[in-house]
Every structure is written in structure tokens, then in C-alpha cells.
């Protein structure tokens, strides 16, 4: 009955929003990309002659794809009898997943419409669905349960921002979450919240955060290029920035250069659709700058001191952090919940974030507890960066503590692999 009313509300919403969606599809390519596949047309490449049973893993976007990269590698290694397919929701996630795992096994997750979900479940006949974080879609979950397909959730979390909404609707969620096969939470707080909204307490356990196990897969071409084009210079790398943060960094740039004229600023906006806006901001600033996407091995001008580099590519930021004398992790000066400070922590880079880190609260608080992270307000960002640039010894110690936290908290991948293998074994053993 709950699913009936959910679908009724979903169709009503789609009907009301149809003019807006039609306008967006007519004017913006990203809204058209993969549309028919999201509506239920299964890509032919997924219907190959490979006889192995399918494991379907769903990771929403870039952050989730990065988080499960090592998990997928391990599952491929320990479960060669299965064919692991990966779905994403966003186009940027799709592009990165294809780059990391191969186009032949990556596809867009269907919209949570009954016929679209049904088409994929019939075509793929997965032995297990693995959801990353909290991708709880009622039709997808119900479709799996009706077909006796077990569902595992890895790296599960409920953010501070989402928690009040889940708590209000916990009586509705219970029927969708109770049958989950296993739920591997990032932290004890996440586990408590997941039990409170309807997950079977016996199937919820704390496995840790997969992002502590993420390593830069390989040195990116951008990293090699920056090392070649800017020998002897120091880098301030600002990653996953949002609107308002790039302007704050550009405003602070003259003060940073006054402390150390041999600096280069690398700006990596979180969303590709903002690359043009950030480019316009840099044009207006009057500063020397260049776009990473225009570099080629044959044609790339030297990067001089005081230069700003716009990192307008996908999948290179984690590696570029390795060059940083100091890193700023964005989405945190504005009320957006922050982004992952572990990407620079793995390299022992000193890290500065703003006060808005709710999406990574457990990680940020662990780093803070070990004096491995600096928090700055918008008006004190330049001072926080300057302190670390002026005191290389203190900066190195801060970065060293961050790397130590990163190493100590690893192990979520191994625990997730063990749980997934156990769930598959239980299904095989069931009469």
C-alpha cells in the first residue's frame, strides 16, 4: 500500500514538473544524456554472452565512485565467478566509472519508475544488489525483494541534514529497509540512525568508511604536467570548491603571494557545469591563469609563480593533492556540508576546511581530535593558509598527523568484502 501511494505521488510530481523537465532537456544536453536508458532501455553491451551471474553495484556520482574504487577491485579479485556491473546516476559519475572500470560494465541507473526498474531486473537478473551510502529507492528495493534478490548497503550513512527527514518518515521507510540483507555503516552514529528508521538491528554493523581505504589510483597526467611546467614552485590546491569559495580564494591570493611569491593556486570546482563561470571569474580578476583541459603533451606553456590553474577535468584532483604545500577542501565555507578531506590526508598534506563539514562529520572530527585539520571562517581563510605556508615545520607535522589518521582508520574494504561474500554464501546455501 505504501508503494502504491509512493508511485501515485511520484507520477503526480512528474506530471507537474514535466514542462520544466522538457525545457531542461531541450536546452541542456546533460538532461538528455542517457534518458532512454534511465527510462528502461537496457544497453546492449550489458546483455553479452558472459554466463557469470551478475552483481549490481550502484554508486550515485563521483564521490561514491571514488569511494568504492578499491572495493570493486577487491570484489573482482575475490569473486571472479561473478560479473560485477556498476551503475551511476550523474553523468560525471558515469564518465569516471567508465574510465575506472571500463565502459562495457557501466550504465545509468534506471529512474525509480516501476517499468524502468522491472526492465533492468529482468535483463540483468542480479544475484545481489549493492547500494552505496543511502540510495534507498522504493521501487528498486521492492523489485529486488519480490524476486528474492538480496540487497547490501555499503558505506551507509545518514547525514545530519538528512536525519530529521528520515526520522519523520521512519514509519514509511520500515517496510523498505527491514528486509535489507546487510547494512554496513560508516560510524556508530550512522548505525544507530539506520536502526531507528527501520533497518533490522541484527543486520546493521559498523564497518568504517570506505573512503579511508581510497588511494589515488595512479598519478594523473595533470600531476605530471604541473611538476614539469612549474619546477621549484609550491602549490595551494583548492579542491571541490563551490560558488563563493573561488572568489574568496582569488581575493586572498595577493596576500598569500606576499608571504611566498613562489606559489601556484590550483582551483578545482566541484561541478563541471561551473567551469565556465569560474573561468569568467578568473578573466575578471586580471590574474595570469590557464585551463588544464587545454594542455596537451605537445603544447602547454610554463606555469609561472603567481599563476592560477583551473583544474577543469574529472578524476585528477585526488592525485594533484599530492603536490600541495597546503590544501583547502571546498564545499565547507558555504553551507553545503563539505567534501572529503581524506583525499589530501593520504599524502600527508596539511588541510584547511571551512566550518560546514556535516557530510563528513565523523572524518573531520577524527582529524580535529588528532590536531590534523585546521578550520577557518570565510574571513579568516587567508590567515589560516598563511600560517601553514609561513611555518613549514608545523604544516608538515599537521599533514603527518592527517596521514596517520588516514592509515589507522583503514580496513572498511576488507570488512565490506567479507560481508558481501557471507551474504552470497548464505543465499547459495539457502534451500
pLDDT at 326 over 90: yes
pLDDT at 431 over 80: no
What average pLDDT does the chain have?
Answer: 92
CA distances from 169 to 3, 12, 156, 163, 400 (A): 14, 20, 18, 10, 43
Whether the full predicted model's pTM is greater than 0.95, yes or no, is no
What pLDDT, on the 0 to 100 scale, is given for residue 19? 74
- Please report which confidence band the pLDDT of residue 171 belongs to, taking 50, 70 and 90 as the band edges: confident
What pLDDT, on the 0 to 100 scale, is given for residue 24? 63
pLDDT at 7 over 90: no
- 9: how many CB neighbours lie within 10 A of its CB? 10
Q: Which three cell numbers stand for residue 177?
A: 529497509
What pLDDT, on the 0 to 100 scale, is given for residue 22? 65
In the chain, DSSP finds a helix count (H) and a strand count (E) of: 20, 14
pLDDT at 122 over 80: yes
- Please report which confidence band the pLDDT of residue 16 belongs to, taking 50, 70 and 90 as the band edges: confident
- CATH 3.40.50.2000 positions along the chain are 221-408
* CB of 82 closer than 8 Å to CB of 221: no
| Sheet of 351-353, strands arranged across | 289-291, 308-310, 263-269, 234-241, 324-329, 351-353, 374-375
Which fold does the domain 221-408 belong to in CATH?
Answer: Rossmann fold (3.40.50)
> What are all long-range contacts of 92-96, with beta carbons under 8 Å and residues at least 24 apart?
92/61, 92/62, 92/271, 92/272, 92/314, 93/59, 93/60, 93/61, 93/62, 93/64, 93/65, 94/34, 95/314, 96/62, 96/65, 96/66, 96/314, 96/315
* CB of 88 closer than 8 Å to CB of 108: yes
Percent of the chain at pLDDT exceeding 90:
77
| Sheet of 151-156, strands arranged across | 106-108, 83-88, 54-58, 128-132, 151-156, 182-185, 204-206
pLDDT at 290 over 60: yes
* CB of 337 closer than 8 Å to CB of 159: yes
In what helix (H) or strand (E) does residue 326 lie, and over which residues does it extend?
strand 324-329
- Please report which confidence band the pLDDT of residue 3 belongs to, taking 50, 70 and 90 as the band edges: confident
* CB of 190 closer than 8 Å to CB of 209: no
What pLDDT, on the 0 to 100 scale, is given for residue 429? 56
Q: Which three cell numbers stand for residue 181?
A: 540483507
Average pLDDT over residues 327-337: 96
In what helix (H) or strand (E) does residue 241 lie, and over which residues does it extend?
strand 234-241
- CATH 3.40.50.11720 positions along the chain are 18-208+411-429
What pLDDT, on the 0 to 100 scale, is given for residue 427? 65
Read off the pLDDT of residues 142-162 as tens digits, 9 standing for 90 and up: 999 999 999 999 999 998 889
* CB of 256 closer than 8 Å to CB of 263: yes
Read off the pLDDT of residues 369-395 as tens digits, 9 standing for 90 and up: 999 999 999 999 999 999 999 999 999
pLDDT at 202 over 80: yes
What size, in residues, is the chain?
Answer: 431
Catalytic residues: 64
What pLDDT, on the 0 to 100 scale, is given for residue 333? 97
pLDDT at 430 over 70: no
- Please report which confidence band the pLDDT of residue 185 belongs to, taking 50, 70 and 90 as the band edges: very high
Read off the pLDDT of residues 23-81 as tens digits, 9 standing for 90 and up: 666 666 666 677 889 889 999 999 887 899 999 999 999 889 989 999 999 999 999 99
pLDDT at 410 over 90: no
What pLDDT, on the 0 to 100 scale, is given for residue 25? 63
Q: Which three cell numbers stand for residue 69?
A: 574504487
In what helix (H) or strand (E) does residue 69 lie, and over which residues does it extend?
helix 69-78
Which fold does the domain 18-208+411-429 belong to in CATH?
Answer: Rossmann fold (3.40.50)
- Please report which confidence band the pLDDT of residue 6 belongs to, taking 50, 70 and 90 as the band edges: confident
Average pLDDT over residues 317-337: 96
What pLDDT, on the 0 to 100 scale, is given for residue 9? 78
Amino acid at each position: 500500500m505504501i508503494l502504491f501511494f509512493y508511485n501515485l505521488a511520484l507520477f503526480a510530481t512528474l506530471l507537474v514538473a514535466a514542462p520544466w523537465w522538457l525545457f531542461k532537456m531541450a536546452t541542456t544536453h546533460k538532461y538528455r544524456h542517457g534518458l532512454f536508458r534511465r527510462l528502461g532501455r537496457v544497453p546492449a553491451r550489458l546483455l553479452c554472452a558472459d554466463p557469470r551471474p551478475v552483481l549490481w553495484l550502484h554508486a550515485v556520482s563521483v564521490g561514491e565512485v571514488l569511494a568504492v574504487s578499491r572495493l570493486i577491485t577487491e570484489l573482482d579479485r575475490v569473486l571472479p565467478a561473478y560479473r560485477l556491473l556498476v551503475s551511476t546516476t550523474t553523468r560525471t559519475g558515469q564518465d569516471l566509472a567508465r574510465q575506472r572500470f571500463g565502459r562495457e560494465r557501466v550504465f545509468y541507473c534506471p529512474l525509480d519508475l516501476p517499468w524502468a526498474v522491472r526492465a533492468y531486473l529482468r535483463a540483468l537478473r542480479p544475484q545481489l544488489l549493492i547500494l552505496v551510502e543511502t540510495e534507498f529507492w522504493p521501487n528498486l528495493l521492492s523489485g529486488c525483494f519480490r524476486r528474492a534478490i538480496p540487497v547490501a548497503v555499503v558505506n551507509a550513512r545518514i547525514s545530519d541534514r538528512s536525519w530529521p527527514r528520515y526520522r519523520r518518515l521512519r514509519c514509511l521507510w520500515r517496510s523498505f529497509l527491514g528486509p535489507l540483507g546487510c547494512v554496513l555503516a560508516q560510524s556508530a552514529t550512522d548505525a544507530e540512525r539506520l536502526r531507528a528508521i527501520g533497518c533490522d538491528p541484527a543486520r546493521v554493523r559498523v564497518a568504517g568508511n570506505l573512503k579511508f581505504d581510497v588511494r589515488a589510483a595512479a598519478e594523473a597526467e595533470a600531476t605530471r604536467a604541473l611538476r614539469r611546467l612549474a619546477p621549484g614552485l609550491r602549490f595551494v590546491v583548492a579542491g571541490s570548491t563551490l560558488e563563493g569559495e573561488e572568489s574568496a580564494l582569488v581575493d586572498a591570493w595577493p596576500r598569500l603571494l606576499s608571504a611566498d611569491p613562489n606559489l601556484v593556486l590550483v582551483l578545482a570546482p566541484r561541478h563541471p557545469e561551473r567551469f565556465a563561470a569560474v573561468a569568467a571569474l578568473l578573466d575578471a580578476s586580471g590574474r595570469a591563469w590557464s585551463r588544464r583541459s587545454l594542455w596537451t603533451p605537445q603544447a602547454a606553456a610554463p606555469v609561472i609563480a603567481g599563476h592560477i590553474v583551473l583544474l577543469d577535468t574529472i578524476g585528477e584532483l585526488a592525485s594533484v593533492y599530492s603536490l600541495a604545500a597546503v590544501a583547502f577542501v571546498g564545499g565547507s565555507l558555504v553551507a553545503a556540508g563539505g567534501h572529503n578531506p581524506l583525499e589530501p590526508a593520504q599524502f600527508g598534506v596539511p588541510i584547511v576546511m571551512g566550518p560546514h563539514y556535516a557530510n563528513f562529520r565523523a572524518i573531520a572530527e577524527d582529524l580535529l581530535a588528532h590536531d590534523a585539520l585546521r578550520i577557518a571562517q570565510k574571513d579568516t581563510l587567508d590567515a589560516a593558509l598563511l600560517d601553514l605556508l609561513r611555518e613549514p615545520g608545523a604544516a608538515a607535522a599537521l599533514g603527518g598527523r592527517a596521514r596517520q589518521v588516514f592509515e589507522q582508520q583503514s580496513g572498511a574494504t576488507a570488512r565490506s568484502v567479507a560481508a558481501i561474500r557471507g551474504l552470497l554464501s548464505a543465499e547459495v546455501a539457502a534451500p
